[in-house]
Structure 1
Amino acid sequence: MDASLGGTSAVPSGTACARELARGAARLRVSLSQPGTTWPHPYCRAYDEEMNPARLNRAAARTLARWVIRSYPDADWSQGYDLDLASGALTPSAERGR
């Protein structure tokens, strides 16, 4: 999937806000299930350009997860996705099942 998901080819509005919340992050990994839990809730991890984990507090992680999920309502959120903050491209996560 890419930024054209949902019929729009633009980077989702709010990308600047997402970059501010996820300082130092280049990519967000978003899903509706945190690894190790059995109930669904918005979950987000941030990674830098080399895919090393970037610092993200709990409130920012939850806010970013909700923002991404609402920005891409046509995505199948039963799986995780990676969002490139530079391009707005949403792609299936490399971590299947996590």
Structure 2
Amino acid sequence: MAVKECPECKTLLQGSFPESVTAPVQYGARIRAVAAYLNHQHFIPEDRLSEVLLDLFGCRMTPGTIAKTTLTLAQIIEPVVAEMASEVKAAAVKHLDETFFEDWW
């Protein structure tokens, strides 16, 4: 918690952190989402992405932290991915190629 003193009346003011803040230093959901997006959608390697985040946002996220973010997100979406895989396995049609779709008309 940060305690500040009002320069005018000298009252001490203390704020509180959001519930999601559980450590003295941590990255927020938005910067972690940006890191995951750039890493996986745009294929920017962790080492280079670490430099990009520093250049663009002044954020010193290490390549190891970026990799850990990926692991955390993978664990979060794993149940959805498993359900999708189950649905695909059970589907009668697993692939549709639109190459000759125009000839069907």
Return the structure number with greater strand share.
1
TM-score, structure 2 normalization: 0.29
TM-score, structure 1 normalization: 0.31
- The one of the two structures with greater contact order (alpha-carbon pairs below 8 A, sep at least 6) is 1
Return the structure number with greater helix share.
2
